[in-house]
């Protein structure tokens, strides 16, 4: 019996492994797209034994639709040639087909599998919206930094021997670099603009992030409507005509599906124009009202002054002929 359970677990573990472009989509489909998910590749032994460089970049920061994905990639300092051989460059400058091809190579080619590892965190549009709209707001920059720092910690916990970290900046690079240096004082840290074009290891992280986001959109499963046919919402950028058409379809009560980042002005402006103006009772007000109306009258009522001077005294006092005494 135990052997059968172990075999079943092994099969499930294999299903959850991303070892090619082909296995990426099925893995993403298994995740709850209303929540974040993190995937960490197998860690090559070389990355544990030798000092490594680690790159950090994101994809999908600007779109009004879909997740923002943060990615890291790491390899030994002695194996930088592998990065050049694979053809890493800024993912935004590559065609989708080229990005997919490089992603497949980094998970299939022997020299890549032996010396290169990666990880991604897909940050749900639902989570982005909740962070940016809640009372104690958490900005997109803060969400981004939290994700980058979290992925670096994941690599450390997995045993990666990190020596150098290269990050494509979020906000002023000097401030971001100082923050990372405080958290990771033992690493050589470089935060720079356009780092994905300058450092191949950041380009590798960029491709992992961008390909993951692209395929997350391709296999997106709606909870709010039918999933028949291909997704027809475009790239997710506000200027995309297909995305504009998608955002023109507003549910008058519920607005948009969870694919949309409600915190984006593009989405909120569309809702203000078309959706009903909804007012929801504040939870604390509702609880207060419930307490006031539940059961018997409030005790405090009997200690408050009454505007009705002729009200009857309690029968306890009347039956015993008891009167108020002011002077003795």
pLDDT of residue 153: 98
Q: Region 237-245: what's the mean pLDDT? A: 89
Span 104-129, pLDDT tens digits: 999 999 999 999 999 999 999 999 99
Find the range with the poorest average confidence among 21-35, 53-67, 158-172, 307-321: 307-321
Q: How far apart are CA 253 and CA 193, in angstroms?
A: 42
Residue 303's pLDDT band, with cuts at 50, 70 and 90, is low
pLDDT of residue 9: 43
Same domain, 96 and 198: yes
Beta bridge partners of 168: 192
Same domain, 267 and 201: no
Same domain, 179 and 253: no
Assess if residue 76 is contained within a domain: yes
Q: Please report, rounded to a whole number, the percentage of residues in the chain having pLDDT higher than 70.
A: 78
Same domain, 253 and 215: no
Predicted TM-score (pTM) above 0.85: no
Q: Which of 151, 128, 175 is nearest to 56 (CA)?
A: 151
Q: How far apart are CA 157 and CA 153, in angstroms?
A: 6
As for how many domains the chain has, the answer is: 2
Assess if residue 6 is contained within a domain: no
Find the range with the poorest average confidence among 3-12, 84-93, 282-291: 3-12
Assess if residue 325 is contained within a domain: no
pLDDT of residue 216: 95
Assess if residue 290 is contained within a domain: no
Same domain, 139 and 90: yes
Same domain, 214 and 246: no
Same domain, 80 and 162: yes
Same domain, 185 and 250: no
pLDDT of residue 16: 79
Assess if residue 236 is contained within a domain: no
Token code pair at residue 254? 């519920």
Assess if residue 125 is contained within a domain: yes
In the 8-state DSSP scheme, what is residue 312? P
Token code pair at residue 273? 């124009």
CA count, 13 A, side-chain hemisphere, 202: 23
Same domain, 77 and 118: yes
Q: Which of 181, 169, 138, 143 is nearest to 36 (CA)?
A: 143
Q: How far apart are CA 75 and CA 228, in angstroms?
A: 41
> Residue 57 annotated as binding?
yes
Residue 266's pLDDT band, with cuts at 50, 70 and 90, is confident
Q: How far apart are CA 218 and CA 203, in angstroms?
A: 22
Q: Region 141-156: what's the mean pLDDT? A: 96
Q: Please report, rounded to a whole number, the percentage of residues in the chain having pLDDT higher than 90.
A: 58
Q: Region 288-306: what's the mean pLDDT? A: 54
Integer-rounded Cα Rg, in Å, for the chain is 29
Assess if residue 317 is contained within a domain: no
> Residue 245 annotated as binding?
no
Same domain, 166 and 96: yes
Buried b (16+ CB within 10 A) or exposed e, 234-247: bebebebeebbebb
Token code pair at residue 243? 């995305």
Q: Region 58-65: what's the mean pLDDT? A: 94
pLDDT of residue 23: 96
265 or 280, greater pLDDT = 265
Q: Which domain holds residue 251?
A: 241-273
**Using CA of residue 153, residue 158, residue 164, residue 169, what is the dihedral sign?**
negative
> Residue 232 annotated as binding?
no
Same domain, 215 and 253: no
Assess if residue 304 is contained within a domain: no
**Residue 13 confidence (pLDDT) above 50:** no
């Amino acid at each position: 019996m135990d052997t059968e359970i172990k075999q079943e677990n092994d099969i499930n573990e294999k299903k959850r492994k991303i070892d090619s472009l082909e296995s990426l989509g099925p893995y993403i489909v298994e995740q709850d797209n209303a929540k974040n998910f993190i995937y960490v590749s197998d860690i090559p032994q070389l990355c544990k034994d030798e000092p490594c460089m680690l790159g950090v970049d994101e994809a999908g920061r600007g779109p009004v639709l879909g997740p923002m994905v943060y990615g890291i990639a790491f390899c030994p300092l002695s194996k930088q040639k592998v990065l050049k051989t694979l053809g890493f460059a800024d993912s935004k400058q590559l065609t989708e087909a080229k990005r997919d091809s490089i992603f497949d190579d980094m998970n299939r080619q022997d020299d890549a599998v032996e010396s290169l590892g990666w990880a991604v965190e897909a940050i749900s549009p639902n989570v982005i919206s909740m962070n940016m709209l809640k009372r104690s707001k958490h900005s997109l920059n803060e969400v981004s930094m939290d994700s980058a720092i979290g992925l670096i910690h994941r690599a450390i916990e997995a045993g990666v021997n990190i020596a150098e970290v290269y990050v494509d900046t979020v906000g002023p690079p000097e401030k971001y670099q100082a923050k990372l240096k405080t958290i990771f004082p033992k690493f050589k840290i470089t935060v720079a603009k356009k780092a994905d074009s300058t450092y191949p290891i950041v380009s590798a992280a960029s491709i992992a992030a961008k390909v993951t986001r692209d395929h997350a959109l391709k296999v997106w499963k709606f909870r709010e409507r039918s999933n028949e046919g291909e997704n027809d919402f475009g790239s997710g950028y506000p200027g995309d005509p297909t995305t504009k058409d998608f955002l023109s379809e507003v549910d008058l009560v519920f607005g948009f599906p969870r694919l949309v980042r409600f915190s984006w002005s593009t989405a909120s402006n569309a809702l203000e124009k078309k959706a009903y103006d909804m007012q929801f009772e504040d939870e604390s007000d509702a609880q207060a009202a419930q307490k006031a109306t539940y059961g018997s009258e409030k005790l405090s009522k009997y200690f408050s002054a009454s505007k009705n001077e002729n009200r009857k005294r309690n029968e306890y006092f009347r039956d015993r002929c008891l009167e108020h005494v002011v002077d003795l």
